[in-house]
A and B are shown apart, each in its own frame.
Chain A
Amino acid sequence: MTAHFLQVQDLTKRFSGKNQTPLTVFDKVSFNIDKGEFVCIIGHSGCGKSTIMNTLSGLDSPTSGGVIMDGKEVSGPSLDRGIVFQNYSLLPWLSALDNVRFGVKARWPSWSKAQIKQHSLDYLELVGLKGAENRKPAQLSGGMRQRVSIARAFATQPKLLLLDEPFGALDALTRGVIQDELVKICVKTHQTVFMITHDVDEAILLSDRILLMSNGPNAVIAESVTVDIPKPRQRGDIIKNPGYYTLRNHLVDFLVNRSASSHYKEQTRPLMSNPIKSQLSKEKSEPLAPRSCAVSEILPTGT
């Protein structure tokens, strides 16, 4: 077995309340992430994306199955996994700088005060918040809060960065700015990232691979779509890439038409697909189907 950086094996999460029928959010989900990879997961609201992320982070434990990161089983939260929560989760009584410092101090308790401060300031500057470091979260805009939250996660230099719809609440303009910053940071640091999003364009811009999650309950990772567009990508340029629209249509088609399909229910491994490559090779050698699975005819593989 090749050792992937992160291995998710047969992960199942069931919520069983006192007086309600047990809800199996996702069932036997398995996927891998390699070092330095940027993986996005897309799915409809309520399908269990945040629940998967909580399990990966160790905040929540799975009903069955397991997560192995860097050869070690995930059994609780760790500084090796930095999280940017959906609602930022900044501590409102601390300034922007102190929020970042909170993380840095936890990561390197032996550092001197000056060293901790300098490191924190560097990361605030990285996300473009120089000059706002003494403001409290309440005095920052939504976008700035999100950046503080990103700085806090990045500053601890985790092995894996987990982002839960980090740009969901931002306006399009701010979102673009922070996405660009995220791309820059990831290029610079070769960060391994697992990100939840519901924005198809964002997923294409940022990821190496996109996981498509079927609707819950009993959700599974239906497909793993490789994004074959060279990096680094520019927002303006990627739409000119010949495969961009094929890929985009493929994703949108999944969300609109196929995500509710019960085909996926018995599937244990995500179906691998690479719409761009298959489209390009289709153009070159037309009647020959280059891959066993064409984009338009997704078949369950498990059976």
Chain B
Amino acid sequence: MLSVSQKAALVSMIFLLVVIGFWEANSQPPKAQEALSEYELLMGGADQEARIPPPSAIAVKAWEELSDPFYDKGPNDKGIGIQLAYSISRVLSGYLLAAFIAIPIGFVIGMSPLMYRALNPYIQILRPISPLAWMPLALFIIKDSETSAIFVIFICSIWPMLINTAFGVASVRRDWINVARTHELSPLRTALTVILPAAAPTILTGMRISIGIAWLVIVAAEMLVGGTGIGYYVWNEWNNLDLTSVIFFDFNDRSGRHVVGPRTQ
């Protein structure tokens, strides 16, 4: 007998084969039924019609790209590894900056009802703004596309961390705070030895949500600012009408996301 996970793997494989088979079968260039007219010959045949590339073509492209991920042939032609590295470094710098600011502020908001009430209106107003809506403003103020992309990552990943930290800290059980109080711990020690471990699961959830959003946003941001990164590359290949590359990069984007945030959904 197969275990449940083995069966699941089997079913997954069957689904994959069916989908890929269907895709492959439906994206073959149509066989020319009659001899091509002179006009068609001139235009390069029916093959020229835009069509989603078949999986086999993508596999070939993937092999090509992955076998040499770090080549660098000028600003418009870099290996997938280099593009990915650019994106990851942007995501990480924006994200870490956000964490450094959001977690301490979240702590303060969570611990002090006064600060909660004072800062809550600003959070409620700023949070729903779409991250990409910050882009023009950032470009105008910062005047540097690289920093602007990082800023957009920063602004989109700050909210889940801020809100989760504040919520986690505010809902630490009264009993545990009382344990700290009866042991005469200073506020700083209470924060580090009791509140931080107690709120850690909620804070980590916020961090996970943030990195997921950051990775979603970086692709869009790079499409806008251009230059490097996988978002730019997808856009570039689209402009080159190279759908095979676009699809390859889309899959690659998933794997890239596994690199930065293994447990985002």
Contact = CB atoms under 8 A, between A and B. Distances in A.
Interface of A: 57, 59, 76-79, 81-83, 85, 87, 89, 91, 93, 102-103, 106-107, 156
Nearest to A156: B183
A89 B183 contact: no
A76 B181 CA distance: 9
B149 to A, nearest CB: 38
A91 B178 CA distance: 11
B178 A79 contact: no
A81 B193 contact: no
A21 to B, nearest CB: 24
A93 B198 contact: yes
B259 interface: no
Interface in B181-215: 181-185, 193-194, 197-198, 200
A82 B176 CA distance: 15
A57 to B, nearest CB: 6
A91 B184 contact: no
B193 to A, nearest CB: 7
30 contacts: A59-B178, A59-B181, A76-B181, A77-B181, A77-B182, A78-B182, A78-B184, A79-B182, A81-B182, A82-B182, A83-B182, A85-B175, A85-B179, A87-B175, A89-B176, A89-B178, A89-B179, A91-B176, A91-B179, A91-B197, A91-B198, A93-B197, A93-B198, A93-B200, A102-B193, A103-B183, A106-B183, A106-B184, A106-B185, A156-B183
Contacts of B197: 91, 93
A89 B176 CA distance: 6
A76 B193 CA distance: 20
B175 A79 contact: no
A52 to B, nearest CB: 16
A76 B185 CA distance: 12
Given A76-B181, A77-B182, A79-B182, 19 more contacts: A57-B182, A59-B182, A77-B184, A78-B182, A83-B182, A85-B175, A89-B175, A89-B176, A89-B178, A91-B176, A91-B198, A93-B198, A93-B200, A102-B183, A103-B183, A106-B183, A106-B184, A107-B183, A156-B183
Interface of B: 175-176, 178-179, 181-185, 193-194, 197-198, 200
Nearest to A162: B182
A77 B190 CA distance: 14
A91 B194 CA distance: 8
Secondary structure dominating the interface of A = loop
A93 B175 CA distance: 14
Secondary structure dominating the interface of B = helix
Contacts of A57: 182
Nearest to B173: A89
A38 B182 CA distance: 21
List the 4 closest A-B pairs by CB distance, nearest first: A106-B183, A89-B175, A77-B182, A77-B181
Contacts of B194: 91
Contacts of B182: 57, 59, 77-79, 81-83
B178 A85 contact: yes
A106 B179 CA distance: 11
A15 B148 CA distance: 54
B49 to A, nearest CB: 62
Contacts of A76: 181
Contacts of B184: 77-79, 106
Contacts of A107: 183
A82 B178 CA distance: 12
Contacts of B193: 102
Contacts of B183: 79, 102-103, 106-107, 156
Contacts of B178: 59, 77, 85, 89
A202 to B, nearest CB: 23
A54 to B, nearest CB: 9
A83 B198 CA distance: 21
A264 B197 CA distance: 47
A91 B198 CA distance: 8
Nearest to B175: A89
Contacts of B198: 91, 93
Contacts of A156: 183
A106 B175 CA distance: 17
B169 to A, nearest CB: 15
Nearest to B182: A77
Q: Which of A82, A91, A103, A156 has the most CB of B within 10 A?
A: A91
Nearest to B178: A59
A187 B9 CA distance: 65
A81 B181 CA distance: 11
B197 to A, nearest CB: 5
Contacts of A79: 182-184
A297 to B, nearest CB: 42
